[in-house]
Each structure stands twice: as structure tokens, then as C-alpha cells.
Structure 1
Amino acid sequence: MSSVPELLAPAGDMLSLKAAVENGADAVYLGVKKLSARAYASNFSLDELEQVIDYAHLRGVKVYITVNTLIKDAEFAEAAETLQSIAAYGADAVIVQDIGLLSFLREFLPELPVHASTQMTVHNTESVRLLEDVGVKRIVLARELPLEAIRSIHDNTHAELEIFIHGALCICYSGQCLLSSIIGGRSGNRGYCAQPCRKQYALMKNGKEVDVKGNFLLSPKDLNTAEILPQIIEAGVSSLKIEGRMKRPEYVAGVVSIYRQLLDRYAADPTRYFVSEEELRTLEQLFNRGFTHAYLSGKPRIELMDHDMPHNRGVLVGTVIGHSGGGCVSLKLSGSLNVGDGIGFSSEGTGENVTRMFYESRPITSAGKGMIVDLLLSNPVSAGTQVYRTSDSSLIKSMERSFTSQMPVRKVPVRLKLTAVKGKNLEMSLEDHNNNVVRMVSEYIVQPSQKNPTTEKDMEKQLLKLGNTVFYPVSLEILSDPDIFVPIRELNNIRNSAVQEMEKIRIIKWKRIFEDFIFSLPSYLEDNTGTPFLSVSVNTLDGLLCAADEGAGVIYYGDENFRSHTKATLKEAHDITCRTGCRIYLTTPSIVWDKEMDELHLLIREALGIGFHGVLVGNLGVLRVVQQLGCNFIIDYPLNVFNNRSCSFFHRAGSEAVTLSPELAMGQVSSLSRYGNVECVVHGNLKLMDIESCIVGSLLGGKNDACCMPCRDNTFAIKDEKGFEFPLLMDEHCRTHIFNSRELCLLDDVTSFVKAGVFRFRIEARYMDAQKVRLVVAAYKKSIGQCISKQAISYISCRDISGKYTKGHYFRGVL
């Protein structure tokens, strides 16, 4: 038998937990109310959590608790108490996004293993090494990585690696999406994603709408890796994760059972691995938006997306061929259909349940392929419409039985041994496959038989009655004298006592005992004062010159297209800042794959050698690189600094300053400013998404493998249903970056930031023309000067420099 990775299943509620366990999951992941990236799942209260963990541990299933959201300072004390309870109850690990929460856990609860969530955007080897260094046991890698990159990370690191193998995909790198919060105040980083990627958009090219196939331009298909499971296993991952905490328990049961079968099949003989048509069909029927391998088999183009519909497609079962009167439509079946099934229609985008079905005017409950049936529908459907079965009632019932039966399917193997010797106490031992051993000694003294002796067969019959317990016997050894008498009730009693004691051992061994700790905040700066100044992010020499001329204190130079910045351009950029007296830092991208890291590393060395003051760090991998170089650095906002412990973590790591998350409200900014130098983005088009694939290329790049590069010499945007246009940037790595439709402008609120203790004001001027850079920097420079001198305010307003603008979340916050 070959070893296989852990099968990790979602559990949004108790029924889903049972569905996962009974159908073969090795581990489950679940959320606690208020601390989960799936805030709309049922999740579990703390009162329920201990019972849930005990239920799983009794059956040999691990439990990982998702605490994978960004934590506000006001929530930290409650989160700390919750985490102590989670640890005490025996959770096998917590899954964490917030770097501050990670720091807290390593300091106060080191016994509780930590897994880094996919929300941490871990996508390169250096990121994994940094997290290893701070005590993370397992990394949930970004969904965008191909198997080649995963295998390389495995070969060059020590942490366990986990990847998603089935379920819904995010179009954006997890942890880098601000679209939901910007549009409606519901933060994906806080568990409240409104799924704007499943909405309709129009593609705009050079200001004009382009006719493309479909309107759901950001909606990816669902991940299905059944057919490439051997390659995934051979890449060295430790855990295979099924997405779906928002899915119904029958879905969890079905998907888990199939992947359990596939893993067992591989383990039995990797050379004879296969996936049957029935298994593929079942996965398709359970839920699908169309299936894809996503990025695992290489960078996809059109095959990643489903631009036609963002919801469950189901399985094609027939076509409407006409109407038969009485509100019925005639349907020619290409598959089976039952009363109680859910159906959807290709053209109308609607669906309903099959309540009545007729064949040759007779009511029927089921029909097969090739039959022409009449369905009574509540909404009219036109001829030629394809009909899809979105819910298979018989499949649902079958899956439901797998986790609602009174007789559990998931059982623990045990070995039993009974000793019955005349004149001695009856003894029994029970040993499970984890080497837990129970030895019970009865008060009953084994008696010689007076009439009807108790035979070994009699004893075996009683001892093997494990029935509705979670145990099943794999062996039974009986050591007994001949001609003895043991009452049936004594055999039952010692068996039941041994079972109960084994249940306790299997549960209690995971519990932890802690001394109460006093939660405290990190120490903050006694003197939180300074002189306000401007940091300006640019990606052209013209923009840099304008920003420097108008009084920028710091320049961040560069962008995602770092290959275009040669040693010559870096030197020219440095020379400009030397003449004007401002400091210059090299900007690094939020996404840097291993194959790009060497080039970036060289660029950083060249910039530092020329005289750049330091580096603006956009991801954890680059942070480790600059730490090893020993250079100055500043933390950029993609690293999601959301609380004082995050600030403290990065300052202890050596950062000069940290750029705060743009999802913070002003009160939170004021609190965090006490924990070291903080910077706030106050102006510019915020980047809302990093997407590994090229959105434009998938629509206009042609069907061949080689894209015709429509992004060259054209500008693109996507327009939502309200008419807002979000600019798109395609970089040199064919990634797509989506920017906000409205320019962020806090020009009118400089004084509020200064009062909040902020002295570093960031203008995001990349992709802004040079004269606009000059205008904006000059306006903020004047506003800051008036704030310092306490002169009357007389400057141009946000409306003057930005037209339609937004103040972001600073005065409203996010959920």
C-alpha cells in the first residue's frame, strides 16, 4: 500500500461534520462564530465546539479550527479567550490569516499548532521559510500555484503543505481582494465576502464596450482534480482540502466519499489508478459551475472561466421540444429524471423542482433516457431550451443516509482480550490501532460451573456485541479455564466498561490544561509625534521627477513590471532623488513566484548598490529576502496590517514603517499609530484584485495556446451593473490587476490623520500621468504645510483634483 495525503473536509454545521466523518475524511476544518472567513456559514458556538472536537477525535478524525480573518484590536481580547478554549478542548490546529494573531499564538499558546491560511497569500518558497521560522506547522498554499511550483516548494522547505483539490475558486489571490469591501463594505478578509466576482460586468476597450461571449467576466469554474490526483500526491503535499463550508451536508458526503475511494484506489496500486464515469458524473451532479484543474496543470486561459453563468450548472438531462397544454412542456430526455429533482434551464436562467411528470398522459415518478415526458412547470420555457438536473433527489437521499443512520459507518478497529480463570477476577483488555490500551478488572470472581458451563463461544458472542458503538473488533483472544461460569450480565458489564473507558482515553488525550494568562497589548511609543510628510509611489521617471520637484519626502519606485526597470533607469531615478533631497525605495510586487524571485533579488541588490535607501515589501517572501540582505524596508498594504500585534510583528522584524490596511477606519488608525511608524494610503486608485490569469486574454486573446496580446497598446476596464468602471492592468507576467473605479482622495482630511498620529501620507501615483502627479503632490504638500502651521485652509478640494472620488473606509469601516 502506498501512503496518501490527509483528506480534509469542510464542516459548516453539525450535519456536515457527520457527513464528512462518516464518508471517510481524515480531518475536518470548521469555524467558530465571529472568527471565520465564512461568516455566513452556520459555524459553531464555543459551547458546541468541545462536543464537536470530542465527536471527531473519538472516531480518529482531526479537527482544525479556522480563525482565518483579520482581527480588529477591539476583538483581540475575546479572540484570545476563544483561542485558549479552542486549545483546551483539544483542537489539532488553528488556521490563521492574521500575522498579529499568529504572533500572539506563538507567544501565549505555543502548544497549539498553527496552519497558515490561503488568505496569507503564500505562493513562494521564501514565504514558507519565513513562516517556518516563526513556528507555523502547515501552509495552505495559494490556489494559483502549478504542481511544478508546489513540488519545488516541498523539496526546499520542511513545513507541511496543503492545497485545495475540489470546490469553488476565488478569481483573486486569497488575501488580496478588496473588491467586496470597496463596493459594499463587506470585507472578504473579514469573512463577509459579497462575491462580486459572480456579478455581471461588461468589458471596456479604450473607453468603449466590447461585445464578448458572456457577462460573468470574473466568474471561474469549480476546481475538480479527480483525474490528476496521482500527480498531486506525487508533488509531496500533506493534505488535500475540499472547499465547501457553505455547502449542504449531502454535498460534503458525496464529494468526500468519492475522493476517499480515489485515494484508497491509489494507495492500493498507483499504477492502476482510474476515475470512473459514474464518479465523475456524481461530482458533476453534486455541484458544478463547469470544472477545471485551475492552475495545477499549468496557466489556463479560457478553460478557467465560465462567462455564461455563475451558479450550479447541474447535468444535462434533456431538451424542451414543445408544449402540451395545461401549463406543461414536452421534454425529450437524454438522461434520467425523477419527481423531486431540481432542474434549471439554459436560456432563462431560472429553475424549479419537478413536482409532476407525465408519460403518455399518465403520471409517473421517474423516467429514463430517450423518453418524451411532460412536466408541469410554474414558469414558461421556450422550445429548444436545454434542461439541466441541478439536484438529483435519489442521490441526495443516498448521501443523507450515509450520515443519518443510527448505525455509524465510521468505526475504530480494536483488539479484545478476556481472561477468565477460576477463583480470580474477570479481566478484559481493549486496544485500538493508536496503541491506546484499556484494562478492566471486574469485581466478579470467576466461579466453577455447577451445571451449565459458560463456553468460549458464549463469551465471544457477548464480547463482540459492539453494535452501535464506534468500535469494531479485528481480533478476540480468550484465556479461560474449562468448566467455568460467568453470567452474561458480567460479560456485558466488563465489555461496556472497557468501551466507555476507551472512549474517554481517545478524547481526553487531546485535551490541554493551561494556566490563565492575562491578555495585554504590546507596548506603544511614549512620544507619538513627528513632522508629516508625503510618500509617493510612482513607476515612471517623469512621475518621479514631478513628485520629487513638488516636495515628496519618500519615493517608492517600481511596480509589477519590475523587469522593465533596468540598472540605468534605477540610477537615473536615484540621481533625481539625490538632487531633490528625498529618499527612494524600490517597490516590490505583492505576487512574486519562485521563478521570478531570483530576478527580483538581483534588482534589489542593484538598487541598494546604486544607493536606494531600502525596499517597499509587498509579500512575505520578499520580507525574508530583505531581512537576509540586512537592508532598510517598509511594509506595504498587501500584507494586511490590521491590528497592534501585526504592527508590532513587522516592527520587530526590522521594518522602518508599516502601511496600514486600507480597510481600517480612522479610530483604528489612531490606535495603531501608537505602535510605531505607520503610513496610510490617502490618494490614488487602490488595487482591488491580483489575478494570476489574464482576463482580457481569456476574452480576446484567441483560442490558440499563444495569446495574440490584445492588452498591448490598449486600455481596458470592466464596467459593473451600476455603470462603475474598474481599470485593468495586465503586467509582464500576464497577471491582471483590477483598480478601483473611484480615486481615493483624503485631501480634505489631512488634519484628521495628523490628529490620529499619522505622519506618513502615501499617494498611489503609479499609472497616473506626470502632470496629474505634480498636481496631486503639490495639493497635499500645501495641505500638510497649512496643517503644520495651523494656517487657514485654502487649497483645492478633492473634487478639483479627482472629480468623482471616494474616501474609502476611513470614515465608515468594514464588516
Structure 2
Amino acid sequence: MIRRKPELLAPAGDMRSLIAAVENGADAVYLGIKDFSARAYAGNFTIDEFREALDYAHMRGVKVYVTLNTLIKDTEMEKIAKLMQTLDELGTDAIIVQDMGLLSLAGKIVPEMNVHASTQMTIHNSEGVRFLHDMGVKRVVLAREMALSEIKEIIQNTDMEIETFVHGALCICYSGQCLMSSMIGGRSGNRGYCAQPCRKKYDLYRKGKKVSTNGKFLLSPRDLNSSDILPELIEAGIGSFKIEGRMKRPEYVAGVVRIYRRLIDRYMENPGRHFVSEEERLQLEQLFNREFTTGYFKGNPGNDLMSRERPYNRGVRIGKVKGFDNKRRNLLLELSGELNVGDGIVFEAEQESGSIVRQMYKKGKPVKEAGKGDIVSVSSDVLHDTETVVYRTLDSSLMKELEQSFESPGLRKVAVFMKIRAFAGEKLELLVRDEDDNSTCISSEYVIETAIKKATTEKDIKKQLTKLGNTVFDAQDVEISIEDGIFIPIKEINELRNRAVSELEKMRVEGRRRPEHKPFRESERSAPANINQKPLLAVSVSDPASVETAVSSGADLIYYERKNCMQYDNSDLSQATAYTEGMDVPIYLHTPVIVKDSEMPGIERIMNAANESGFEGILAANIGVFRKANESGIPVIADSNLNIFNRESASMFMKSGAGTVVLSPEMNYEQIRDISSSTYTEFIVHGSLRVMISEHGLIQNLTGPDLVSDPGCRDFELIDKKGFAFPVRTDCSGRTHIFNSKELCLLEDMPKLIDSGVSRFRIDARMTDNSLIKKIVSSYRKTIDSYFSTEDDNVREGKCRDISKEYTRGHFHRGVL
């Protein structure tokens, strides 16, 4: 494999951060437009601000990618379509999307625009990458849970550009699959409003008893730092190295970009001499860290992934409490590192406190700075015990240094080549070409004369041509063809240079613009002929006995998930179909959300075994399995994990082979109704909603690996500070599944849901005891049948309290931000 220099991609939450990224060596930046960004709490850009940012970056040869990586409501589709057209016209280098409907729409209305698939799409296998390649995607940002060996396999198996995160915050849940913030407070991570419940305190309970754990922040990961393994990432063929941090300050962006720029260049210049200096390590640590991890690149890191004691910036350890300064009522600190007035410090204690050092005393005298071995007196709101460790969370001198790196104008230059011809009797002619092969040739109106007194020399011309002042250009080479004894006024040389530079600037910015689009108009959609038939009642179960119960209680369709997804004994499949045969109840195989390349052959084997056992098809929860089933000719239903949130995404999956699409549980009634009027839809109306799926084995890492195969492993819960209990399960692949604290129940809303036109309702009974399945299914069956009964004008509505202890109506009424 030919070693290629990866792109260094930096975050920009605002204009100052963008300048910081560009001036410190980023090859590209990614940023959000207000309203449509997965970091809604970042500054983001208005269109006017974006135009300025785009011109600034393009002038300096830096690409700009716009993050449109949220789920889009139908009511927003026209607005975002017009935005995409504007972005395309301005010359945006790429858009980053999560919503499959937006991806489909982009292919129709901005076909020349490069589209990158966000990590929010949860792409983690080769089949998923191939699906996106067929849809015209230029680049895929892989899930952060990928090992380097798995990334290599995808790169070798596909023709796609691959991007991975290399530094910054990590999510404990697979991106795009987290509903925890959404279900707790209506702030959807899929809409850019994550409230970070993973950074909160939780207690672990088993069978009602508290389990002792190290730390309380049980879902808080460390920060990713790939500096030490950069050579392996480069050699793997990853095309773009992405730094997380659109909500970080500009100095953070400047510092991290500067170090990764050095490391990449250092390795490319001399692959045998990669190193990270102590200064570089310290700066990365100082800028922000929750402790560092290399993530999943080297395999599952287990407990080394987590920062359970502190979910926020740890800073750098710089000393400990030595005693008390009675005179000033300050704390005495014994320093093991540098401390300056203006620095931020925090004391690691049960009652943590932090402050900015406003004054500092050494041996009774005020000082501005102190170093290792010094004992200094500083103020603190809390009088901490001796030996309490002190961390520096803000290095004021480093911040000033980094600020200078982007506040000083004109640091990043674009190399230009100049060629000028000067002969008597001819016009002065100047050619200027930049490092990107943009070129312009300018001639003067002035006709060169023979010198009467002092002749113009080659040195005189070069001096004037290289006076590029505050422009972005730097003359790397000047070729001068000149006739001896001629005279050229300096103002003519300057004017010619200025005209050439102005033309070149125009080329670098306006040369990327694209033609104006026709105004976008959303097309009308016609409903399928039998869209308003009596809806079916589907039930998801995870054992053959529950199949029998669900069918006998009135289920029209069964989704069957194997408890041991990779088992070779297929007798359970035959047992499951035995209960549906002769009952006119189709049964589908419920496939996992996460299926990596190493697991795909096993899933194929099970799909084939299910087909042979009489299963009708499969329920696909990731794009890779969806494509594989289609390729194999197996009927497939697109599950809710594919985040089908609008008519465009529903239509895309139907056209791609789905028999039915399962709508996102984050949708409200109006959204459900709008999509169901034109598409065969399914909606989950009852059950325990999964709010997180994680590659991290929470239970086995907190309690030990023996419990993974223990049936009692089903009895774990995470309990938050309000007392809400979130069930935790470990699947057969060791992944963690966390479920909502309250069961979803829409039984009382069924008449309204039926009116919305939904084709199929699902009860998710995989977490439900068989003894309760009959009661739940029967209740929904009676309500649906009563609605369509010609003998009774009143719909018999069941009550949620009769079938659920603790329940929620989810987002059916309120929706999400």
C-alpha cells in the first residue's frame, strides 16, 4: 500500500476557532450552520458568517465541510433543501449528513456536492459502506468503536474514503443510537441537543442491592488521544484524521491542531522516527483531558476506556496541599509543576473546588510565577486537608501563546511563483501561479522605455514583486526576463503586482462557486392503494415459548430475536415457526443492531437457517445487514435503529427494498401521521425502549467477566440521582444494552394512532416475562378490533396502568427538540 498523507480535519464552533484551526495547520475544517448541527450548543454560523469563513479558508487552501448531521423533520425539509443549494452555490467542499432522507435528497438537488456520511449513521461494517457508496457518498466517518484491524478490512474491501476521529471526547453509546437524553428530558442527541446523561452519577444495583464500584460516573468515557499510535493509523490508509471539539475554545483547537500537524509531518518526513515529545504530551493533557485512552483502535480497552471518578477536565497535576497560611487564611501548596497567576486550579477531594489564581505568595512576598519545589500561598473557598492533590486546569501562559498563533494576521501563507517579462517597446507582462495551479497573466498599459538616467534592475523588480504585504501569498520563486538599460516606474510594477494578486485571490475564492440552482419545490406523494387497511399487530419476542403466547393472544406478526445470536443449534428457529404454522402469522428474524465484518458470516448463516425454517424475512437494524438481506433476496423490514424520521428517508428505504419501514421512536403524532399517509409504516407502541448500546461491557468490567454468561446478569440496573432505574443487559457479543426507566405504553392513544394511517403496530416484549405477554398483547388486540368493529360505536380503550407499573408515552405528544 502506498503511504498517503492523511487530511487533518479540525473543528470550528465559531470564526475564531476556524482561524485557529487554519493558522495552525488544518487541511480542512468542519462547522455547523445554525439550526442544523449535531452540536446545537456550539456557536455555529449564520450564512453571512459562513460565507466569510468559507472565503477565509479557501483563500488559504483549506477545505470546509458543513455538518448537517441531525435527523430532519418533514417540516424542515424545504428549508434545509434550500440551505444545501446555497451551500453548493457558495462552493462548500462537502456536507456531512446523518439523515438517510437528506442523503437521498442531496443526490437529487445538489448532485455535484460531495456528501460525507456522519459517524451518527453508525457505519461499522463493509456492507454498510458499500450501501452508501452506491448512494453516491464520497466519504464515511466510521463508528468510533472500530478496531484498527476492522478499519483496515473495510479500507481493503471498499473503494470509499474513510475518516476516523483521532482526538477528543468519546460517547459511551454508538453514535446515532443514543436515546437517553431524548427519553429523559426531550433533548435528542440525534437532533443536536444531547444533555450528556452519560456524564452524570449512577449507582449500580443487582436484584435490589447496591453493587460497589470504583467511581460514580459509570458511563463517562475518557478522551481519545491517538498521538502515540499515529503511524499505525497512517499505515492503515485512513484518509482523514478528525479532531473532536466544536464546543471547545479556540485555544484548544489551535493547540491540538498544531501538535497533530507536527506529528503527521514528522512521520511523513521520516517514518522511522515517530515520537511525541514530553512538551507535546503535556500540552495535550493541559488543553483538556478526562484522562486519555486510545479508544478501540487496539481492541476493546475495558476499564481503560472509562473515567468514572471525574467526568470533566482533569488538567495537569501540579502539587498538593501542604498546610494552612494563617496570616492570609490561604492554603499552602507544595508544587511539583509550574503555577502562574491567572492559572485555573482544582482540588481533588470529596468536596471538589476550583478557582483562578488571582494572587500568589512565596515566602510572604507576592509572586507572579512559581515552579517545582516551591511552597506558595493561594486562596481557596474550601479549606482542604493536607495531601489533597491539586490540578492545573488552565495554563494562562499557554493560552496566551496559543491565542497569538491565530490573532497575529497572515501566519499561514500560500506559495506563489512569479514570472515577469520586461523589454523595451513592449508592455510589462506578469504571470503569477499559486501552489494549487491557479494562474493569471496580466499586462500593463505602460510601454517600457529605454532608460535616460538610472536603469531598472532585476533586483529592483524582484523587490517590488515580493512586497505582498497583508495578502495570503508568499513569493517562493521569481523568474525575471529583463532587457538591460530599460526603465520601469515603480508604480507600474506595483500596480501590475496588485492586479495579479487580486485576480488570483478572486480565483481562489470565486473559482469554487457553482451555478445557481432552481428553487426547490417538494413533490407531492401519492398513498399506496391499500394504505388504510386494518393495521397489523406485531410482537417482538426472544424465546419460542413467547412466540406461542403472542400468537395465541392475537399477534398478526412475530419478530424473533435469538438470545444467543451466534449459536449453531437452530432448533429454536424450528420451535418458533412451529407455533406460527397454520395460524397465518408470518415470523421474521430480529437481527442485531451491531454486526461487524467478523460477525457478518454468522448472521448470514442464521438468516439462511431462518429462511429454511420457514421465516418470512428479517428485521434489519443496521444498513449493512439491510444490504446483505436485499442482496440475498430475503424480504427485509427497515427497523427503527435506522432513524427513519421523515418521508424522504422512508421513501429511500422502500425504494431500496424494504417491505415496511419502522419509524423512529423520537417522532410525535403529527410526524407519524404525515409519513404514514404515503408509506407503509410501523411504529413501536409498547415495551422497554433501548436508550443505549455500547461496545463497552459495563457489567463485566464493573463486576467481573463471570457474570456475562450468568442468567442473573439480567438483574442489573443503573439508578440515577432521582431514583429512576435503567435496566442493563449484556448480549451474546458482550455489548451493553441500557433500557429506559419506564416502559413505553401507547394503549390509550391507539385510536389516534390508527387514524394516523400506521400500517403496523409493534409490541416489544423481549424484556417482558412470558406471564405478562398475554395480557399486553390481548389488550392491544382488543383495542384494535374494537376500533374496526361494526357492532360497537365505542372503541374499548384499555388503560396503561392495567398492563404497566411504570410507563411513559414517549415522544408521542411532545416530540423532541
Deviates more, 1:204-213 or 1:89-98: 204-213
Deviates more, 1:679-688 or 1:208-217: 208-217
Instruction: Note the alpha carbon deviations across 1:91-117, whole angstroms, 9 max, x for none.
Output: 110000000000000111110010000
Q: CA deviation at 1:712?
A: 4.8
Within 5 Å, give how 1:575-724 maps onto structure 2. Answer: 575-701=578-704, 709=708, 712-714=711-713, 715-724=715-724
Structure 1 counterpart of 2:554, from 538, 546, 551: 551
Q: CA deviation at 1:334?
A: 0.4
Can you give the 5+ residue segments of structure 1 that lack an aligned partner in the other structure?
none
Cα distance change of structure 1 residues 707 and 547 upon mapping to structure 2, 3 Å threshold = closer
Q: Is the 8 A contact 2:181 2:195 kept in 1?
A: yes
CA distance in 2, matches of 1:741, 1:14: 41
Q: CA deviation at 1:688?
A: 0.6
Q: Is the 8 A contact 1:700 1:710 kept in 2?
A: no
Structure 2 counterpart of 1:514, from 494, 513, 516: 516
Work out whether 1:464 is the aligned partner of 2:463. Answer: no
Q: CA deviation at 1:182?
A: 0.2
Deviates more, 1:505-514 or 1:590-599: 505-514
CA distance in 1, matches of 2:263, 2:79: 42
Q: Is the 8 A contact 1:697 1:710 kept in 2?
A: no
Cα distance change of structure 1 residues 801 and 40 upon mapping to structure 2, 3 Å threshold = same
Cα distance change of structure 1 residues 522 and 637 upon mapping to structure 2, 3 Å threshold = farther
CA distance in 1, matches of 2:20, 2:712: 53
What residue identity is the alignment partner of 2:372? K
Q: Is the 8 A contact 1:559 1:589 kept in 2?
A: no
CA distance in 2, matches of 1:393, 1:515: 49
Structure 2 counterpart of 1:378, from 378, 381, 388: 381
In the other structure, the counterpart of 1:335 is: 337
- Between the two proteins, the alignment pairs up a number of residues equal to 810
Q: CA deviation at 1:468?
A: 2.0
What residue identity is the alignment partner of 1:515? H
Q: Tell me the SS of whatever aligns to 1:454.
A: coil
Q: Is the 8 A contact 1:559 1:766 kept in 2?
A: no
What is the percent sequence identity of the aligned residues?
Answer: 49
In the other structure, the counterpart of 1:759 is: 759
CA distance in 1, matches of 2:803, 2:155: 50
Within 5 Å, give how 1:142-161 maps onto structure 2. Answer: 142-161=143-162
When the two chains are superposed, the root-mean-square deviation of aligned CA atoms in Å is 1.3
Within 5 Å, give how 1:466-485 maps onto structure 2. Answer: 466-485=468-487
Within 5 Å, give how 1:230-245 maps onto structure 2. Answer: 230-245=231-246
What residue identity is the alignment partner of 2:712? D
In the other structure, the counterpart of 2:543 is: 540
What residue identity is the alignment partner of 2:510? I
Instruction: Note the alpha carbon deviations across 1:731-764, whole angstroms, 9 max, x for none.
Output: 1111000001101001111101011111311000
Q: Tell me the SS of whatever aligns to 1:782.
A: helix
Q: CA deviation at 1:230?
A: 0.5
Cα distance change of structure 1 residues 181 and 708 upon mapping to structure 2, 3 Å threshold = closer
Q: CA deviation at 1:432?
A: 1.1
Q: Is the 8 A contact 2:699 2:707 kept in 1?
A: no
CA distance in 1, matches of 2:99, 2:120: 9
CA distance in 1, matches of 2:125, 2:712: 31
Work out whether 1:769 is the aligned partner of 2:779. Answer: no
Cα distance change of structure 1 residues 411 and 429 upon mapping to structure 2, 3 Å threshold = same
CA distance in 2, matches of 1:180, 1:333: 41
Q: Is the 8 A contact 2:353 2:381 kept in 1?
A: no
Q: Is the 8 A contact 2:93 2:113 kept in 1?
A: yes
CA distance in 2, matches of 1:502, 1:279: 37
CA distance in 1, matches of 2:606, 2:249: 49
CA distance in 2, matches of 1:335, 1:312: 18
Q: CA deviation at 1:518?
A: 3.2
Within 5 Å, give how 1:364-375 maps onto structure 2. Answer: 364-375=367-378
CA distance in 1, matches of 2:447, 2:516: 43
What residue identity is the alignment partner of 1:293? T
CA distance in 2, matches of 1:104, 1:2: 35
Deviates more, 1:456-465 or 1:161-170: 456-465
Under a length normalisation based on structure 1, what TM-score does the superposition of the two structures give? 0.98
Under a length normalisation based on structure 2, what TM-score does the superposition of the two structures give? 0.98
Q: Tell me the SS of whatever aligns to 2:446.
A: strand
Q: Is the 8 A contact 2:419 2:480 kept in 1?
A: yes
Cα distance change of structure 1 residues 711 and 363 upon mapping to structure 2, 3 Å threshold = farther
Instruction: Note the alpha carbon deviations across 1:124-162, whole angstroms, 9 max, x for none.
Output: 000000000110010000000000000000000001000
Q: Is the 8 A contact 1:419 1:478 kept in 2?
A: yes
Cα distance change of structure 1 residues 543 and 2 upon mapping to structure 2, 3 Å threshold = closer
In the other structure, the counterpart of 1:42 is: 43
Deviates more, 1:106-115 or 1:380-389: 380-389
Within 5 Å, give how 1:64-143 maps onto structure 2. Answer: 64-143=65-144
Deviates more, 1:579-588 or 1:14-23: 579-588
Q: Is the 8 A contact 2:528 2:678 kept in 1?
A: no
CA distance in 2, matches of 1:641, 1:796: 29
Q: Tell me the SS of whatever aligns to 1:530.
A: coil
CA distance in 2, matches of 1:763, 1:521: 34
Within 5 Å, give how 1:129-528 maps onto structure 2. Answer: 129-325=130-326, 326-347=328-349, 348-406=351-409, 408-521=410-523, 523-525=525-527, 527=529, 528=531
What residue identity is the alignment partner of 1:409? L
Work out whether 1:737 is the aligned partner of 2:740. Answer: no
Q: CA deviation at 1:391?
A: 0.5
Deviates more, 1:341-350 or 1:63-72: 341-350
What residue identity is the alignment partner of 1:270? P
In the other structure, the counterpart of 2:576 is: 573
Q: Is the 8 A contact 1:694 1:735 kept in 2?
A: yes
Q: Is the 8 A contact 1:535 1:762 kept in 2?
A: yes
Q: CA deviation at 1:286?
A: 0.4
Can you give the 5+ residue segments of structure 2 that lack an aligned partner in the other structure?
none
Q: Is the 8 A contact 1:522 1:645 kept in 2?
A: no
Within 5 Å, give how 1:45-56 maps onto structure 2. Answer: 45-56=46-57
Q: Is the 8 A contact 1:522 1:648 kept in 2?
A: no
What residue identity is the alignment partner of 2:56? Y
Q: Tell me the SS of whatever aligns to 1:531.
A: coil
CA distance in 2, matches of 1:635, 1:708: 33
What residue identity is the alignment partner of 1:686? L
Deviates more, 1:187-196 or 1:429-438: 429-438
Instruction: Note the alpha carbon deviations across 1:674-700, whole angstroms, 9 max, x for none.
Output: 221101100000011110011112212
Cα distance change of structure 1 residues 121 and 659 upon mapping to structure 2, 3 Å threshold = same
What residue identity is the alignment partner of 2:774? R
Cα distance change of structure 1 residues 160 and 355 upon mapping to structure 2, 3 Å threshold = same
Q: Tell me the SS of whatever aligns to 1:577.
A: coil
Q: Tell me the SS of whatever aligns to 1:173.
A: coil
Q: Is the 8 A contact 2:3 2:237 kept in 1?
A: no
Q: Is the 8 A contact 2:85 2:517 kept in 1?
A: no
Q: Tell me the SS of whatever aligns to 2:677.
A: helix
CA distance in 2, matches of 1:524, 1:22: 52
Cα distance change of structure 1 residues 526 and 628 upon mapping to structure 2, 3 Å threshold = closer
Q: CA deviation at 1:54?
A: 1.2
Work out whether 1:813 is the aligned partner of 2:812. Answer: no
What residue identity is the alignment partner of 1:381? H
Within 5 Å, give how 1:798-809 maps onto structure 2. Answer: 798-809=800-811
CA distance in 2, matches of 1:802, 1:141: 39
Cα distance change of structure 1 residues 529 and 127 upon mapping to structure 2, 3 Å threshold = same
What residue identity is the alignment partner of 1:673? S
Q: Is the 8 A contact 2:422 2:429 kept in 1?
A: yes
Deviates more, 1:347-356 or 1:121-130: 347-356
CA distance in 2, matches of 1:758, 1:565: 37
Q: CA deviation at 1:533?
A: 2.1
Q: CA deviation at 1:344?
A: 1.0
Cα distance change of structure 1 residues 379 and 489 upon mapping to structure 2, 3 Å threshold = farther
